[in-house]
Every structure is written in structure tokens, then in C-alpha cells.
Amino acid sequence: MKRATLLAVTLGLFSFTVAQKVATPIEIGVAVAQTSNVALLGQEQVIGARLAEKFFNNQGGINGTPIKLVFQDTGGDEAGAINAFQNLIRDGVVGIVGPTLSQHAFAADPIAERAKVPVLGPSNTAKGIPQIGDFIARVSAPVAVVAPNAVKQALKLDPDIKRVAVLYAQNDAFSVSETGTFQETAKAQKLDVVTVQKFQTTDTDFTTQVTAVLGAKVDLVIISGLAADGGNLVKQLRQLGYKGLIIGGNGLNTSNIFSVCGRDCDGILIAQAYSPQQSGAINQVFVKEYRAQYKKDPPQFAAQAYTGVQVFVEALRKIDRKKKLNTWDLDDLRAELNKAILVGSYRTPLGVISFDKEGELNQKEFYVAQIKMKDARNGSFVFLK
């Protein structure tokens, strides 16, 4: 055999041997809104998930087997979320992090439940999400736990608050759930909810609602909506003369809102399920990497998506130590993964978390932040004591 031919054969055998040793990645689905008006939130979730993928693969993935995130864009409606879930399930992912909105979760999660594919909701905080089924859990604390903190903080800043206006997006399940919590909290704090105004997440003109708020002479405005509509509502409230405190719901909990309401974002209070100042080691790694790439602190939506990926990885590692993942039938692996998720405890950027038997999140650390604008487009979330 000629030397060149022998070398080619040898190199070919070497390449084949190396290829055989490279483990097939474990695929985890991520179904979030990358387009539409919901993308202001979903884009942050993509960043958080990708940072988790990089970190855990650098750690060796699943005991030497890498993970691979498979992304599907849910867009801004229920049909997009259903389609994204169906595609990921057909593609053979072991589980799904998503979707972005509770409204989408109520439509898409039943698809995963019927297929017995575990789901971790990264930002689905409406009442009833974990109760959709046995395979549905969430790493986002329910609104009933988080939202009241913002009202209590507002009363610390201004004890003279008496009259409250509540505005919410009536076509979004989360906003409807959240406004119920806000109204109950306001009444529990002996505040008078003097006007309740509805809008759509697609609205851009809020003249009618703002006029009603101004006419009611309120001391506090509470808004449950998404970043685009909520930001425009804040802007119009300020431009038409409202000077009191504003509480934004979780849908406004993104730095992407800064470009919507600009300087008028200044002073908005938003309850938080995450803080960059959380002292856990993994959070400090997450914050460092996020700051290095984006020159700012990570937001809650990125941290929750990161946590969703982390929970899948750690649960898969436990399974793999008992029985190698590549020996499992996919359906059996999904079922075992769902069980492992629910019995685990995880040190995440959100702090130490676990789940109850229904898939509801157990989380202890919560915060309230106030937006401080530096100029017309740049600001930050300042965490209050």
C-alpha cells in the first residue's frame, strides 16, 4: 500500500474513532416569544437559556454528554405556542422550557401533558398553571406571592396613599390573574380602588383610560400588561399630567421597557422574583457572564430561563448516574425526568428552589425594584430595602 493511501486510511480510521467517542447531545426544547410584541420578554429568555447552555456544557454537560437547546419561536399568540410545542415534541426533546406568557401556557401546556413531556414554565405566573397536568411545573413564582410586595413598598414610600387606579390587559390571562391579586392586596391594605380600566395588549392609544384615571384623582396607579402596551400607558399617563406613584406588573419587568416610555419610566415600582445581588455562587457566575456580554445586570426573565435549563440539567445528571441516558426509551426518560424534577432541590440564580407535588415552585427570596432612568433610553432597576 502506498504511503499516501496508508496515511489517508489511518486518518480516516482516527476520525471515525473520534466521532464514535463524541456523545450525541441531549436535546432540551426552549419555546419562547422571539417575535411579536411579546419578544421584549422572550428575547431576554433566549439570552438566559443560552448562557445556561454554555455554562453547563463547560461543566461537562450531563456527566460528559453535552446538552443542546432546540429553540422554537412561539410568536405572540396561542397558535404559535401550540405549534412550537408540537414541533419540539416531534423533534424528540426530553423536556421544554416555555412558553413566555401564561396565556400561551394554558393553550400549549396541555399538548405537552398529553404527550407526557415535562415542561418548566419560565415566566408563567398566573393562577392554575401547575394544575394543568402532572408534567407541568414552573420556575416562576405565582403572582399571588410576588405582586403584593410592590403595593406594600409603595405604602412605605408614601404612607398617605388612599385612592388607587387599576389598569389591566383583558386579553392576557396573566394580566387578568395579576390584577385580581393587586386589587385584593390594595383592599387588604385599606386602600380604595376607585377605578378599574381595561385595555388590550395590542393597544397604543390609552386616552380614554388615562382620562378616567386623572378624573378619579388617585394617589397610586397599578398596571398589569406587557412591556410595549404597559410602557406606552405609563408614557401617556405622565404626559397627560399624572404625577403619583406607578406600580408595574411582571409584564413590565424588563429593561426593554426603557426604550418604550423613556424618561417617563422613572420611578416605576416592580416586584421581583430575582435580584443580581442574590449571594449564591451560581448567580454570581451568571451575573458576571451576563455583564461581560451585555454591559448591564441580568433581568428576571433571563434568570428564570437560565434556571429552567439548570433544573433540567441537574435532574438529568441524577438519572444518568443511575442509568445512562442513552439506554433509555425516550418516553420512559421523559417520565423519569418529570419525577426527578419534582423531588430535587436546586441552588439557582433565584436562590434555593424546589417544587411541591403539583409542580408549584417553592422559593423564599423576593424583592422590589424601582426604575431609575439615566437619560431617555438608559436606566436600571434599583433594588429597595
- pLDDT tens-digit readout, 195-210: 999 999 999 999 999 9
pLDDT over 90, % of the chain? 94
* Residue 217, amino acid: K
Per the domain annotation, does 265 fall within a domain?
yes
- The predicted model gives 303-320 an average pLDDT of 98
- The predicted model gives 70-84 an average pLDDT of 98
- The predicted model gives 209-224 an average pLDDT of 98
Residues 27 and 18 sit within 8 Å (Cβ to Cβ): no
Residue-range definition of the domain harbouring residue 120? 6-141+279-362
Is the whole model's pTM more than 0.85, yes or no?
yes
**Both 38 and 133 in a single domain?**
yes
**Both 167 and 211 in a single domain?**
yes
State which of 272, 294, 323 marks the end of a domain: 272
Distance CA 205, CA 277 (A): 37
Per the domain annotation, does 373 fall within a domain?
no
Q: How many domains does the chain have?
A: 2
Per the domain annotation, does 384 fall within a domain?
no
Per the domain annotation, does 370 fall within a domain?
no
Distance CA 260, CA 100 (A): 20
Q: How much is the pLDDT for 22?
A: 54
Cell 406606552 sits on residue:
232
Query: Residue 5 pLDDT > 70, yes or no?
Result: no
- Residue partners of 246: CB distance under 8 A and separation at least 6: 220, 221, 222, 223, 234, 237, 267, 268, 269
* CATH code (residue 163): 3.40.50.2300
Q: How much is the pLDDT for 23?
A: 79
**Both 180 and 251 in a single domain?**
yes
Per the domain annotation, does 383 fall within a domain?
no
**Both 166 and 283 in a single domain?**
no
**Both 128 and 53 in a single domain?**
yes
Name the residue with higher pLDDT: 106 or 3.
106
Distance CA 289, CA 44 (A): 14
Q: How much is the pLDDT for 3?
A: 47
Per the domain annotation, does 377 fall within a domain?
no
Phi, then psi, of 251 in degrees rounded to 5: -70, -20
Q: Tell me whether residue 114 is exposed, middle or buried, using C-beta atoms within 10 angstroms of its C-beta: 0 to 12, 13 to 18, 19 or more.
A: exposed
**Both 199 and 81 in a single domain?**
no
Distance CA 163, CA 180 (A): 17
**Both 61 and 175 in a single domain?**
no
State which of 272, 306, 336 marks the end of a domain: 272
Q: How much is the pLDDT for 385?
A: 85
Query: Residue 306 pLDDT > 70, yes or no?
Result: yes
**Both 14 and 123 in a single domain?**
yes
- Positions of E strands within the chain: 26-32, 67-73, 96-97, 119-121, 136-138, 163-169, 192-199, 220-224, 245-248, 269-272, 345-348, 351-355, 361-362, 367-373, 379-384
**Both 210 and 325 in a single domain?**
no
Per the domain annotation, does 368 fall within a domain?
no
Distance CA 96, CA 117 (A): 7
Name the residue with higher pLDDT: 121 or 20.
121
**Both 96 and 14 in a single domain?**
yes
Per the domain annotation, does 231 fall within a domain?
yes
**Both 10 and 108 in a single domain?**
yes
- The predicted model gives 70-94 an average pLDDT of 98
For the stretch 279-293, pLDDT in tens is 999 999 999 999 999
**Both 184 and 298 in a single domain?**
no
For the stretch 338-376, pLDDT in tens is 999 999 999 999 999 999 999 999 999 999 999 999 999
Query: Residue 1 pLDDT > 90, yes or no?
Result: no
For the stretch 51-62, pLDDT in tens is 999 999 999 999
